[in-house]
């Protein structure tokens, strides 16, 4: 396992590329947008410089890590000889099915196809390929360079060999992998998203304000970040998408998204990335403060 392709250069994709490259792997970061690729490299270097300034890494680590990352907007050529693909594209089933069919046709037979999906069925994604035994979920937490957990999700046909390989690989990245089975939301979001949704319901019904709800959870439950601020950090559109997947998968009303969340997403208030969510991030420094909490 030497060469890794990461598909998608957004927040999760650049974080995944960062940890693989810093761990000594050759990384190919793929995205259709050249701007996204440039921003990803800038983000990775910025995060490495932050670690350097805190004395956690040496200057040589910055140079070597950046040197292991190559970017490309051409998928087929880039993945033709890789050992592992980690997909971190949009959280939409149609996109993932199309992408995995293309990856299946373009990668070597031995290549493992992993997805960073936070809620979509691994079994369903694997069905788009001719190698379902080599398809697996590799759900990193945000921010990837900092958070230790990797949720490793077995699809219905995922082999023991594929699972063992990914568990071992996650440990080599300095992460703590936890194996779970393939049900909507897996473990992390099956528990987290109803909490966030209930926090939004609490706000929606006027029980308390944004600051008050987050303060109760931070001081009363020892959460490092309140659920509404965390929702802003994740992205309200992502939270809505995950809840919709779980609601569709379980047909249980407890997973139905709060109307306030639906309306905020429709209005384009997505959290940190849009400049406004439950909090105002119009000042770029405020967004930097939120991101730095996990640094």
The enclosing domain of 256 has a CATH number of 1.10.1040.10
Please indicate, yes or no, if residue 57 is contained in any of the structural domains: yes
Mean per-residue pLDDT over the chain, rounded: 94
Please indicate, yes or no, if residue 294 is contained in any of the structural domains: no
Residues 113 and 71 in one domain: yes
Residues 199 and 284 in one domain: yes
Q: Which residues are 84's β-sheet partners?
A: 4, 112
Please tell me whether 31 is known to bind a ligand: yes
Domain-ending residue, one of 144, 159, 181 = 181
For the entire predicted model, the pTM comes to 0.89
Residues 156 and 256 in one domain: no
Residues 121 and 32 in one domain: yes
CB 114 within 8 A of CB 137: yes
Measured torsion, CA atoms of residues 227, 232, 236, 242, in degrees rounded to the nearest 10? -50
CB 158 within 8 A of CB 126: yes
149, 225, 159, 144: which is closest to 188 by C-alpha?
149
Residues 199 and 117 in one domain: no
Please indicate, yes or no, if residue 295 is contained in any of the structural domains: no
Please tell me whether 8 is known to bind a ligand: yes
pLDDT tier at 288 (50, 70, 90 boundaries)? low
Please tell me whether 273 is known to bind a ligand: yes
Please check the confidence at residue 289 and state whether its pLDDT lies above 70: no
What is the pLDDT at residue 295?
A: 47
What is the pLDDT at residue 294?
A: 44
What is the pLDDT at residue 286?
A: 56
Please check the confidence at residue 176 and state whether its pLDDT lies above 50: yes
Which residues form the catalytic set?
Answer: 118, 139, 151, 189
Domain-ending residue, one of 151, 181, 211 = 181
What is the pLDDT at residue 285?
A: 53
Please indicate, yes or no, if residue 257 is contained in any of the structural domains: yes
Cα–Cα distances (Å) from 201 to 42, 119, 239, 258, 261, in that order, read 37, 21, 14, 6, 9
Please tell me whether 91 is known to bind a ligand: yes
Residues 101 and 247 in one domain: no
What radius of gyration, in Å, describes the C-alpha atoms of the chain?
19
What tokens were used for 85?
A: 């693909």
Please tell me whether 118 is known to bind a ligand: yes
Residues 283 and 149 in one domain: no
| Residue % of the chain over a pLDDT of 70 | 96
What is the pLDDT at residue 90?
A: 87
Please check the confidence at residue 293 and state whether its pLDDT lies above 90: no
CA 279 to chain centroid: 22
Please indicate, yes or no, if residue 18 is contained in any of the structural domains: yes
Domain-ending residue, one of 153, 181, 209 = 181
pLDDT tier at 86 (50, 70, 90 boundaries)? very high
End-to-end CA distance of the chain: 28
Please check the confidence at residue 91 and state whether its pLDDT lies above 90: no
Task: List alpha helices for 25-159, DSSP H.
Answer: 34-53, 59-67, 75-78, 93-106, 122-126
| Residue % of the chain over a pLDDT of 90 | 94
Cis before residue 143, ω within 30 degrees of 0?
A: yes
Candidate from 27-31, 89-93, 184-188, 215-219 with smallest mean pLDDT: 89-93
> What CATH number should be reported for the domain holding residue 58?
3.40.50.720
Residues 92 and 65 in one domain: yes
Residues 85 and 125 in one domain: yes
Please indicate, yes or no, if residue 271 is contained in any of the structural domains: yes
Residues 160 and 256 in one domain: no
| Extended strands (E) in the chain | 3-7, 26-30, 69-72, 84-87, 112-115, 135-140, 149-154, 176-181
Please tell me whether 9 is known to bind a ligand: yes
Please indicate, yes or no, if residue 293 is contained in any of the structural domains: no
Residue labelled with tokens 């609601």: 247
Q: Quick one: angle between helices 11-22 and 59-67, nearest 10? A: 110
What tokens were used for 203?
A: 């706000």
Burial 131-156 (b: 16+ CB within 10 A, else e): bbbbbbbbbbbbbbbeeeebbbbbbe
103-128 pLDDT, tens digit per residue, is 999 999 999 999 999 999 999 999 99
Residue labelled with tokens 């403060």: 289
Please check the confidence at residue 290 and state whether its pLDDT lies above 60: no
Residues 18 and 104 in one domain: yes
Residues 156 and 227 in one domain: no
Domains in the chain: how many in total? 2
Please indicate, yes or no, if residue 244 is contained in any of the structural domains: yes
Which residue range forms the structural domain that includes residue 225? 189-288
State the Cα–Cα distance between residues 82 and 3, nearest whole angstrom: 5
Please check the confidence at residue 141 and state whether its pLDDT lies above 70: yes
């Amino acid at each position: 396992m030497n060469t890794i392709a990461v598909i998608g250069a957004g927040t999760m994709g650049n974080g995944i590329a960062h940890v693989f490259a810093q761990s000594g792997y050759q990384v190919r970061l793929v995205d259709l947008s050249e701007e996204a690729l440039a921003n990803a490299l800038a983000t990775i270097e910025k995060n490495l410089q932050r670690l350097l300034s805190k004395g956690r890494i040496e200057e040589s680590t910055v140079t070597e890590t950046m040197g292991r990352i190559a970017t490309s907007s051409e998928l087929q050529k880039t993945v033709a000889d890789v050992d592992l693909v980690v997909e971190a594209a949009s959280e939409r089933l149609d996109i993932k099915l199309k992408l995995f069919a293309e990856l299946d046709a373009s990668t070597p037979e031995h290549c493992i196809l992993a997805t960073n999906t936070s809620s979509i069925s691994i079994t369903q994604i694997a069905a788009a390929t001719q190698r379902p035994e080599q398809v697996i979920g590799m759900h990193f937490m945000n921010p990837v360079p900092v958070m230790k957990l990797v949720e490793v999700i077995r699809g219905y046909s995922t082999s023991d060999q594929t699972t063992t390989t990914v568990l071992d690989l996650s440990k080599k990245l300095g992460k703590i992998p936890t194996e779970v089975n393939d049900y909507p939301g897996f473990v992390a979001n099956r528990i987290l998203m109803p909490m966030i949704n209930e926090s939004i319901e609490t706000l929606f019904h006027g029980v308390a304000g944004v600051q008050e709800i987050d303060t109760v959870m931070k001081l009363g439950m020892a959460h490092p970040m309140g659920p509404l601020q965390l929702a802003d950090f994740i992205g309200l559109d992502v939270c809505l998408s995950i809840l919709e997947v779980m609601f569709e998968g379980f047909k249980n009303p407890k997973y139905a998204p709060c109307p306030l969340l639906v309306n905020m997403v429709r209005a384009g208030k997505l959290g940190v990335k849009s400049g406004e969510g439950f909090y105002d991030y119009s000042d770029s420094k405020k967004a930097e403060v939120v991101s730095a909490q996990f640094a």
